[in-house]
A = this chain, B = another copy of it.
Amino acid sequence: MRVAVVQQQTGADPETNMARSETGIRAAADQGARLVLLQELHRTPYFCQEESVAHFDLAESVPGPSTERLGTLAAELGVVIVGSLFERRAAGLYHNTAVVLDADGRLAGRYRKMHIPDDPGFYEKFYFTPGDATDANGHSGFTPVDTAVGRLGVLVCWDQWYPEAARLMALAGAGMLLYPTAIGWDREDDPDEQQRQLEAWMTVQRAHGIANGLPVLVANRVGFEPAPGNDGGVDFWGNSFISGAQGEILGRAEEHSEAVLTADLDPGRTETLRRIWPWFRDRRIDAYGDLLKRYRD
């Protein structure tokens, strides 16, 4: 099964950004992809570089105009689309939400980012409430979404550093892991540090695939986005990639250019691998209780 990730530059105008996403999705479908993953918050610039109440105007309801638009395109092309939106759930209650449009255009499900970062230039805790531990439907916040191309373990950006999130998706039957993300370099860091960060980011996500016998799709932003007042900014490092169920790289985008990256996944690979490397058989669930502690002190 062919899958794709779209890596794009993002500017100030949401309409231009969405049009660019659509161009990418059409290109992926032309190349035979049945699933297309977009990057985190692909409709907007990365507004979290500052804390400003005005940016809440960028949010929208889910379902809403963007899921309708993506759903219409999904139905037209017969592909599953995973998008990433700034969701307004209620006045004063916003989420960083991945949306899954099935191949018939229906909104198959959503995932509200569970781990929210906050560090200089990434002030996400100001904007995004963490996803509920348990949703109104009784499901865990870490619940995959069923689609025409299988059960998708959709997570978002900061989640990518947490083995717990990947494991929970895998234990719920996810057939692959998907990470829309927005990560980049601080230009003040030296090249060695930048390289270690990029390599760490790829390694930890490939490892989630390895530890669960699953392929991984990662869509990252690309290009420099200046901070307000041009006081610094983030150099989004691209390098979107697709890895197989042993963590092997099946495709990787460049760090300075937009890309529509495709790869062919072998649907039987997870079953085969979990027979020779049966991690799930041997998990010590009788001894994992302290994973629910903040710290073991």
Contacts and interface: CB of A to CB of B under 8 A. Distances in A.
A203 B196 contact: no
A248 B164 contact: no
Contact of A116 (B277, B282, B285): B282
B284 A293 contact: no
A140 B295 contact: no
A18 interface: no
Give the oligomeric copy count: 2
A198 to B, nearest CB: 10
A161 B279 contact: yes
Contacts of A117: 282
Given A171-B295, A173-B296, A290-B171, A283 B162 contact: yes
A285 B294 contact: yes
A163 interface: yes
Interface string A228-253: 00000000000000001011100000
Contact of A200 (B246, B292, B294, B296): B246
A45 interface: no
B295 A280 contact: yes
Nearest to A142: B287
Nearest to A141: B287
Contacts of A53: none
Contacts of A172: 290, 296
Interface in A183-208: 196-197, 199-200, 203-204, 206-208
A119 interface: yes
Interface in A201-230: 203-204, 206-208, 210-211
A19 interface: no
A130 B210 contact: no
B284 A164 contact: yes
A291 interface: yes
A88 interface: no
Given A140-B296, A288-B291, 14 more contacts: A114-B287, A117-B282, A119-B278, A133-B287, A140-B290, A162-B279, A163-B163, A171-B295, A199-B246, A204-B211, A206-B207, A285-B292, A285-B293, A291-B292
20 contacts: A114-B287, A116-B282, A133-B287, A134-B287, A161-B277, A163-B167, A164-B167, A172-B290, A173-B297, A196-B246, A197-B246, A199-B246, A200-B246, A203-B203, A203-B206, A203-B210, A204-B210, A204-B247, A285-B293, A289-B292
5 closest A-B pairs by beta carbon, nearest first, are A207-B207, A163-B163, A133-B287, A172-B296, A196-B246
